[in-house]
Amino acid sequence: MNLFSPLSLGDLELPNRLVMAPLTRVRSGIEGVPGPLVVEHYKQRASLGLIVTEGTYPSHAGQGFPGQPGLVTPEQIAGWTNVADAVHSAGGRLVAQVMHAGRVTHEGTNGGREVVAPSAIAIQGETRTYAGKAAYPVPHALTLDELPGVIADFVQASRNAIAAGLDGVEIHSANGYLLHEFLSPASNQRDDIYGGSPQNRARFVVEVVTAVAEAIGAGRVGIRVSPEHNIQDALETDAADLLATYGALADALAPLGLAYLSILHREPAGELVQQLRVRFAGPLLVNSGFGEVTDRDEAMAIIADELADAVVVGRAVIANPDLVSRWLKDLPLNAPDPLTFYGAGAEGYTDYPALAH
């Protein structure tokens, strides 16, 4: 087993163990429709074992960023159909990361919809809206009667992804967005069955994933988490509570037979990640490179040391559409330009050169 060997993830068959991270690139316009530029971007990277799309909203209220794509309207679904067709024509596989931003948004971004969260606690700081920067609002605390509607949005968006021809979905429960907000004791201060104990805080995530798995098949569903990542005020600073919360989540997800668990954490070899792997009892993807860029040696060592089944890579994939070939042959890499990570055009998106063969 090595980084370039095949891998089965549920219903997905991967030719190698390099996975493209879900990378926010916000190039889908005000209507959230993936256009020709997005099609080309993903097609260029089809040699990766699996592509995970950037976070894609399941409802208009769940939109977090200007220019973010959605999986809601017929036009958005048609746009994703074009992406899927292009990636498949180039021999690739891709799943849609379904992401509800929760409180990490603003009415000036999501079309004036109410901003929602587990509890009425605002993030400290500002966000970018279509009208410029604005302070995060105090969100509406979702009521028990409203939660089934949010689950239904995740299910419908996942059905839409499959209808568009994508190979599956990844449920985004990381980085401070809605599902992660339920897990974090800092953002979830509810006193009902969805708050308080670690098991209660994990409950809503389990319900969402279970419903999606029932709708499209567990073998097409993965989930991404980022324990103790501590960004966007979804703080997790108590080690015992952290393990209890994510342990409860892994225990509850294990019987579902999901395609994979993807963990963003700085220590893939650490006790937390490896214990969650055992308790999840399914394929593990690891992403260690949020703070530090994951390089070839680290990625190869993770697989060689059997710390995970696949490695999720971001910045190297942004700058090197042919990263698999470059790493396989240990060839030089293009350097990513952070100034073009977010924007509206081709620069820094589709204009990184592949090596001539």
Residue 225 has pLDDT above 80, yes or no: yes
Chain segment 103-156, per-residue pLDDT in tens: 999 999 999 999 999 999 999 999 999 999 999 999 999 999 999 999 999 999
| pLDDT at residue 289, rounded to an integer | 72
Poorest-pLDDT segment among 32-36, 72-76, 213-217, 230-234: 230-234
177 assigned to active site: yes
| pLDDT at residue 343, rounded to an integer | 85
Residue 291 has pLDDT above 80, yes or no: no
Q: What is the 3-state secondary structure (H, E, C) of 216-241?
A: HCHHHEEEEECCCCCCCCCCCCCHHH
> Looking at the chain, how many residues does it have?
357
Kindly state the helix (H) or strand (E) to which residue 208 belongs, with its residue range: helix 198-216
Average pLDDT of the chain is 96
| pLDDT at residue 356, rounded to an integer | 76
Chain segment 173-208, per-residue pLDDT in tens: 999 999 999 999 999 999 999 999 999 999 999 999
Is residue 311 within 8 A of residue 4, CB to CB? The reply is no
Mention every residue, 6+ apart, whose C-beta is less than 8 A from residue 139.
102, 103, 115, 116, 117, 119, 120, 121, 122
User: Considering the chain, what percentage of its residues have pLDDT values greater than 70?
Assistant: 99
Residue 290 has pLDDT above 90, yes or no: no
| pLDDT at residue 1, rounded to an integer | 85
| pLDDT at residue 95, rounded to an integer | 98
Which of 42, 177, 349, 352 is the catalytic position?
Answer: 177
Q: How far apart are CA 318 and CA 235, in angstroms?
A: 28
| pLDDT at residue 293, rounded to an integer | 86
Give mean pLDDT, residues 88-106: 98
Residue 357 has pLDDT above 70, yes or no: no
| pLDDT at residue 207, rounded to an integer | 98
Which of helix, strand or coil describes residue 262?
strand
pTM higher than 0.95 for the full model?
yes
| pLDDT at residue 46, rounded to an integer | 98
Chain segment 230-239, per-residue pLDDT in tens: 988 888 999 9
